[in-house]
Amino acid sequence: MEPIQLDFVDLGLALGMMAIAIGLSAWQGLGLEGKLALATARTVVQLLVVGSLLEIVFEWQHPLAVLAVIITMLTIAAVVSRNQIGKKIPVLPLIWGALFASTALTMIYVNLVVLRSPEAWARPQYLIPLTGIVLGTAMNGAAIAGERLVSTIKNSPIEIETHLSLGATPQQALAVYRQEAIKAGLIPTVNAMMVVGVVKLPGIITGQILSGVNPLNAAAYQILIMFMLAFATLITSIILTSGLCRTFFDKNSQLRSF
């Protein structure tokens, strides 16, 4: 059976759900009408613009166009994570590097080790969506891990300086805080893996099933993607927290304040 195609009339009818949601918000006095309307408008505009741009990139098949899209996605993800961690801390290059390293390692491993088809998976139709999925999850993990570590360090200067005065190195003084931050960054991904297919069907498997792909094959790809997300998120959190620990100390191993 051919997949059902959505046109602008169908999307207009789907918009009715948001109109009802806005009406319900007004009826219940939630005060969310403005936010819901703005979120609806941004969703429509952003996705239509991205869809149009990706259509051009997919047809062009030029490596520079694909690289430009990926770098843009990477930079936006780094800025969003930096804003969550704190604008006063100079970590934007660190976050960018951590996201780049984790995403590159993940995609290289999948292409060369798992799929063993680098020619096919170098195509923008595969590379851009998969990179976006990995970046989005790694970005959330980086934001959670980084924010947890920064807030803990800021709230525990006496404990940290006590460890330092007793002869601990900066890495030893922050080891427990860093481990807890990494664990926190992985919580959403691990929780999603615990209930995937049981409580909810993620977007990838749902989209593939709706497009007519065999459900078992769609499930196999979803398993691969969940492993990719966990791998990339852990690597991102490890690199980011390691760099943040060094950022909070000067060359004399004294704790800095931001």
List the pLDDT tens digit at each of the 258 positions of the chain: 566 677 788 888 899 999 999 999 999 898 999 999 999 999 999 888 888 888 888 888 788 888 888 999 999 999 999 998 987 888 899 999 999 999 999 988 888 888 777 666 667 877 888 888 999 999 999 999 999 999 999 999 899 999 888 888 999 999 999 999 999 999 999 998 898 877 766 666 777 676 677 778 778 888 888 999 999 999 999 999 999 999 999 888 788 876
| 212 within 8 A of 175, measured Cβ to Cβ | no
3 state SS for 74-115 = HHHHHHHHHHHHCCCCCCHHHHHHHHHHHHHHHHHHHHHHHC
Query: What are the angstrom distances between the C-alpha of 203 and each of 44, 102, 145, 225, 227?
Result: 18, 22, 25, 11, 15
Give the SS3 label for residue 168: coil
CA angle 59-60-64, nearest 5°?
A: 140
pTM: predicted TM-score of the whole model, two decimal places = 0.83
> Do the beta carbons of residue 228 and residue 134 sit within 8 Å?
yes
**Three-state SS at 200:** strand
